[in-house]
Chains A and B, each alone.
Chain A
Amino acid sequence: MPDDPFNEPRGLDGRAPDVFRPGAWMPMRQFRDDDEVDFVIVGTGAGGGTLACRLAEAGFTVVALDAGPWFRPLEDFASDEAEQTKLYWTDDRISTGGNPVQLGSNNSGKAVGGSTVHFAMVSLRFRPEWFKSRTLLGYGADWPIDWREMWGYYREVEEALSISGPVNYPWGPKRPRYPYRAHELNAAALALAEGCEALGIPWTETPLATLSAPRGRAHPCVYRGFCLTGCSTNAKQSALITWIPRAVAAGAEVRDLAMAGRIEVKQAEGHPHRGAVATGSGDRAVGVHYLREGRWRFQRARHVVVAGYAIETPRLLLNSATARHPHGLANSSGLVGKYFTVQANQAVWGLSDREIRSYKGPPSLALTEHWNYCDAKDFFGGYCYMSQGPLPQLWARVQSTNRGLWGERLMRAMRDYNHQVGLKIVGEFLELASNRVTLADETDQYGLPIPRVEYTWCDNDKALIGHALAFMRRALEAIGATDIWEQEDDTCHMAGTCRMGDDPRTSVVDADCRSWDIRNLFVCDGSVFPTTGGVNPSLTIQALACRTADRVRALAARGEL
């Protein structure tokens, strides 16, 4: 009788699913709620999953909570878009503003492994100058971290995930060869390459977190093309099959179907905690209230890490407000939830008289970062663009809700599915304090106030979008595509709501991802990004988590934790 991962926790009774062998289990250390573990981590995605692994491997005691199920990809994942909506965060949220953001399947996962279970595996490094955007490029904010430090952590993550990438990467400082060879190009990627060559700009095979050769018990990618709906062959190097099994093997406990509701904070006795800076602070987090198997529980911990990504992280901090912290935890700056930033994801589509059949292989096998590194633009920020391979339901949604087709016009357009070719950007939007996550009045199925997300583009965002659409149109025209049209409203990813900085008045966490107000409360996910850059965030989130783990070890060794 197969178990039900949505209603029966699998991380239980001293065992965890062995995602590499159907029906098999691996032993997992189990803590009691009243054990004061070193770290309780809320969220097990690119940030929390990586951190849980590295802290456990460093010898810390770790309990990681995830609201989502613990999937067994080999058995649980179907080749079906509708079925696989089970990977996404579909609890109630309000999305509003001048340009409301699509959430759910667009950018929010709910699973052990977080959004990496459904991500497109694009694993790009930041352009070094972006870590000092304000100082070097005149926009955004500076990160309080040097790019050369991040370069080492990027390497660590690329090795850990056996990123498959090109021999020579066309942009940025020299980097070592990617651990695994690049994937071959499908027709959609060849179309991108031809367009770039026609326009005289470089392109590359996309560095991807899916295997091009065997690794341990994981097999190479079979190019089935269902990446965004979950990899059923374990080629995709999601946190679920990389950091999490390592974390468990190193002694961490992962609890699935565990929804965190509130972080408990205790008033400081006597002197404030070393390093505390704000009045009324010096308080310590002492653990997390979470709901599992129908009842609320409390896990004690010496340190609390919030890693729920840029909506759930501020939501938890805001929902943990008390009389002493009336605006939520770690919020003396007033910035928790503010500077919510997504990335541009506009696209241009056309038809080729050749068969493209882009549903085969990972969606983005080729890309160009030309406009991330060329500053001859009349707007701030950059974008990359990549080839696309939408599956039928997604493609039908794009043709109808984005392009406006229905009836005979829709049916005619869908007939051309195997000839469609497209280019899509990941572009840098600017951070605005007015774009934010707050709490709505409505509550969810756990009784918790739901998040309200407000978003409006600024003029620079619109300039970037205009430039990108015009350029991608030229790229499609250059390869002879016809029936070209622009998808003007789409965004991806999220960041910014607990921004990192070197000044507690203008940031929520410091360079170590430690909140200024509560020194044993950390944030470890994309919320800490002061800027997003023009690349997918997952590699940077994981690199930051590796750095944070190293910083924790260093601070602990000096007795400063």
Chain B
Amino acid sequence: MTEHRPERYPGYDVLTKRHSPSWNDKTREVIDERLKTPREPRFFNVHELETVRAIAARVTPQPAHRPPIPVAELVDHKLHIDRQDGYRAPDMPREREAWQRGIEALDAESQAAHGRAFRELASAEQDALLRRMEQGELHDSSWGGMPSKTFFNQRLLTDIVDAYWSYPTAWSEMGYGGPASPRGYVRMGYDERDPWEPAQARDDGAAAARRINQRIR
């Protein structure tokens, strides 16, 4: 659940451009597959997935009025195909092991502090634990020498944020033009938009912007 934020680009959906010159075959192939990300985990076990869902709800809270971006499932997919950054600190294990250890450690910390698993805590308690992780203040033995601060920044935050903003819903929300090949952009100046870009709602109401955005192809 998240605070109410009026939509800045009401009625805009990048997916309406799927068959426009802004999308090429490869883009359609890739985004279609992302939209079909399985809801059953293939890397995490069920409990781990639930925990990642709980973490994602705190890191990238989503409005209830639309279908959620499957952040935890996207992180699961990344680990399933073992996509890696290509570098790590010496005291950091690689992506898959880092996540498994991090989730186990977070639950151990949660048990120690509240007698319950992380996913069962109230959101304020979850935020407090995540903040302590971010500050490097979690030292349970199950971290196994992996610094909680590094795990938070390089894995938890990075992978959850990457997952959220890899999804078309996020692009629509932020008023991003989205895929653009071979049709790119013509009007690049201040306060300029091409007809296939979203219009921003003005202070005097969203109706005009909504009308424009619903017609975008």
Chain A contact residues, CB within 8 Å of chain B = 75-83, 85, 88-96, 100-105, 108, 184-187, 190, 221-226, 232-233, 354-357, 359-361, 391-393, 395-397, 400-401, 404, 406-408, 410-412, 414-415, 417-418, 452-453
Q: A400-B157, A411-B61, A418-B174 are in contact. Are A79 and B179 (CB under 8 A)?
A: yes
Q: Which one of B83, B161, B180, B193 contacts A90 once the chains associate, using CB atoms below 8 Å?
A: B83
Chain B residues lying within 8 Å of A361, measured Cβ to Cβ, are 185, 188
Decide if B86 touches A223 in the complex (CB within 8 Å).
no
Decide if B185 touches A232 in the complex (CB within 8 Å).
no
B48 CB–A CB distance under 8 Å: no
B90 CB–A CB distance under 8 Å: yes
CA distance A404 to B131 in the complex (A): 11
A233-B184, A412-B5 given; name 18 further pairs at CB < 8 Å: A79-B23, A80-B179, A104-B86, A108-B86, A222-B184, A224-B181, A224-B183, A225-B185, A357-B192, A359-B176, A360-B177, A393-B165, A397-B162, A406-B130, A406-B157, A408-B2, A414-B174, A415-B8
CA distance A94 to B88 in the complex (A): 5
Chain B residues lying within 8 Å of A77, measured Cβ to Cβ, are 26, 181
Q: Which one of A89, A93, A223 contacts B184 once the chains associate, using CB atoms below 8 Å?
A: A223
Contacting chain A: which of B27-35, B106-114, B136-144? B27-35
Within 8 A of A (CB), among B122-164: 127, 130, 134, 153-154, 157-158, 161-162, 164
Q: A78-B30, A355-B193, A393-B166 are in contact. Are A411 and B5 (CB under 8 A)?
A: yes
Chain B residues lying within 8 Å of A75, measured Cβ to Cβ, are 25-26
Chain B contact residues, CB within 8 Å of chain A = 2-3, 5, 8, 22-27, 29-31, 34, 58-61, 83-90, 94, 127, 130, 134, 153-154, 157-158, 161-162, 164-166, 170-171, 173-186, 188-193, 197, 200
Centre residue among A88, A357, A397, A404 by max chain B CB count within 10 A: A357
Chain B residues lying within 8 Å of A105, measured Cβ to Cβ, are 85-86
Decide if B177 touches A357 in the complex (CB within 8 Å).
yes
Centre residue among B5, B27, B30, B184 by max chain A CB count within 10 A: B184
Chain B residues lying within 8 Å of A92, measured Cβ to Cβ, are 84, 86-88, 94
Decide if A411 touches B193 in the complex (CB within 8 Å).
no
Chain A residues lying within 8 Å of B3, measured Cβ to Cβ, are 408
User: Which residue of B is nearest A394, CB measured?
Assistant: B165
Decide if A223 touches B59 in the complex (CB within 8 Å).
no
Chain A residues lying within 8 Å of B180, measured Cβ to Cβ, are 79, 222, 224-226
Chain B residues lying within 8 Å of A82, measured Cβ to Cβ, are 34, 162, 166
Chain B residues lying within 8 Å of A224, measured Cβ to Cβ, are 180-185
Contacts A/B (CB < 8 Å), 6 sampled: A94-B89, A100-B89, A187-B192, A222-B183, A396-B164, A410-B60
Chain A residues lying within 8 Å of B162, measured Cβ to Cβ, are 82, 393, 396-397
CA distance A105 to B86 in the complex (A): 8
Decide if B90 touches A94 in the complex (CB within 8 Å).
yes
User: Which residue of B is nearest A358, CB measured?
Assistant: B188
Q: A93-B86, A95-B89 are in contact. Are A417 and B176 (CB under 8 A)?
A: yes
Decide if B188 touches A95 in the complex (CB within 8 Å).
no
Chain A residues lying within 8 Å of B175, measured Cβ to Cβ, are 417-418
Q: A90-B85, A95-B87 are in contact. Are A232 and B181 (CB under 8 A)?
A: yes
Centre residue among A78, A89, A361 by max chain B CB count within 10 A: A78
Q: Shortest beta-carbon distance, B161 to chain A, in Å?
A: 5
Q: Shortest beta-carbon distance, B149 to chain A, in Å?
A: 12
User: Which residue of B is nearest A450, CB measured?
Assistant: B87
Chain A residues lying within 8 Å of B166, measured Cβ to Cβ, are 80-82, 393
Chain B residues lying within 8 Å of A91, measured Cβ to Cβ, are 86
Q: Which one of A79, A95, A452 contacts B24 once the chains associate, using CB atoms below 8 Å?
A: A79
Q: Shortest beta-carbon distance, A167 to chain B, in Å?
A: 20
User: Which residue of B is nearest A93, CB measured?
Assistant: B87
Chain A residues lying within 8 Å of B134, measured Cβ to Cβ, are 404
Chain B residues lying within 8 Å of A104, measured Cβ to Cβ, are 84-87
CA distance A417 to B176 in the complex (A): 8
Centre residue among A224, A361, A406 by max chain B CB count within 10 A: A406
Q: A361-B185, A418-B174 are in contact. Are A80 and B31 (CB under 8 A)?
A: yes
CA distance A492 to B60 in the complex (A): 28
Q: A104-B87, A417-B175 are in contact. Are A396 and B61 (CB under 8 A)?
A: no
Q: Shortest beta-carbon distance, A209 to chain B, in Å?
A: 17
Chain B residues lying within 8 Å of A232, measured Cβ to Cβ, are 24, 26, 181-182
Decide if A80 touches B5 in the complex (CB within 8 Å).
no
User: Which residue of A is nearest B25, CB measured?
Assistant: A75
Decide if B185 touches A102 in the complex (CB within 8 Å).
no
Chain A residues lying within 8 Å of B29, measured Cβ to Cβ, are 78
User: Which residue of A is nearest B92, CB measured?
Assistant: A94
Decide if A418 touches B200 in the complex (CB within 8 Å).
yes
User: Which residue of A is nearest B74, CB measured?
Assistant: A82
Chain B residues lying within 8 Å of A360, measured Cβ to Cβ, are 177, 184-185, 188
Chain A residues lying within 8 Å of B183, measured Cβ to Cβ, are 222, 224
CA distance A426 to B31 in the complex (A): 34
CA distance A75 to B23 in the complex (A): 12
